[in-house]
Amino acid sequence: MTNGDYFAKLAKMRRDYLGDRYHSALQRLRNHDALPLIPVAREQQAVLEAQIMAELCSGGRWWAHPFGIAKVDVTFSNSAILTLDSHHVSARENNEHKQYPASEYAAGRLLPSAEEGMQVHGPLGLRVARIEDKDLTLRHADSREAQVILRACPGTHWQQHIDERLEDTRKAGFRPLWRERSMTKHELSDQQQFPMVWEEKQGLAWIGSGLLRRIALFHTSSTAHSVSSWITGYEWIVELTTIRGLPLEHDRFLARLTDPTWGLPLRVASHHCFCEMSRRGPFGWQCTYRLQATGDRKGGLQLRFQADGFARKRLHRDALLKAGADRKWLERVLPERLINQAEESDR
């Protein structure tokens, strides 16, 4: 393989796994300005990345990219830079798609606060390190090295969003924690009162971080137009929803996710696939895959590939367009022909 072929292959992988633009990735690789592979995050770095992943991936909104993250870049110091979409959209029945800045949403989800006698709201230990232009740098109170940069669109005013969050927090009678230097008594109390919850999240950090560092796979290597995620016990669950009439392509996604070079060290422990049985029927179905670590790590990943009906898909397509989704990608995951056929059959 020539140097040109080698760099071209790596650029395609960065595009498919990280969301990098191919020509940009190719140039950076040639200039030795980008990592050729995706490194494993260090322990506290993985915790921070998993916390951010868990908060941003809650679903219920329409984004141009999975969970509003257009691109991930892993730096040479093994920290992460997340390039955010400019905004997200809420799909409403009257077709009025209201837009909200992604930076405002991130500040609302990520900045922790405390209410006396209650669990902490937001990720334990997450702190604002600095604001520089469109970049918000987050760190963890237990580590000087772990950090994640949220890179918003030009014109973003992070300080304004943080000030608004501060005002809302104080009005509610809560204590803002994101400016504290170290772990507060509220956060330490949470860890002590709910040790199993904290242990479970720690055990799943490598999965959350690994998914975040491969966020583009949900966009480039599946037919899902909607992705949501949550944590239950020692299992990280991801639900990928595909319109009925398109193949779920879960085998392709799984192959890329578990690729020995670019993927995560996971193996399929069990699965239930209903594609052959259900694709002839009029209803949707779900194929479920449970993955476990190939080594001795704790935690597992459950992937739910859903074939959904046609209800409200015109609304969903319009919302994704308003969110700034790429039209070629949209035509691949929510084809106009399928929506038109469904609307014709309903008349």
Residue 80 and residue 222: Cα distance in Å, rounded?
A: 24
**Per-residue model confidence (pLDDT) at position 122:** 93
Query: Of the given ranges (202-216, 278-292, 320-334), which has the lowest mean pLDDT?
Result: 278-292
More confident residue, 329 or 196: 329
At 203, give phi and psi (nearest 5°). Answer: -65, -25
Domain ranges of the chain: 12-194, 217-309
- pLDDT single digits (tens) 81-131: 999 999 998 756 555 678 889 999 999 999 999 988 788 999 999 999 999
Mean pLDDT along residues 235-241? 95
- pLDDT single digits (tens) 19-78: 999 999 999 999 999 998 999 999 999 999 999 999 998 766 799 999 999 999 999 999
- pLDDT single digits (tens) 154-196: 999 999 999 999 999 999 999 999 999 999 999 999 999 888 8
- In sequence order, the 6+-apart residues with CB closer than 8 A to the CB of 236 are 204, 207, 208, 211, 229, 299, 300, 301, 302
Q: Which helix (H) or strand (E) holds 171?
A: helix 158-171
Token output for 141: 């109170």
Q: Does residue 225 register a pLDDT over 90?
A: yes
State the Rg of the chain over Cα: 21
Residue 52 and residue 68: Cα distance in Å, rounded?
A: 12
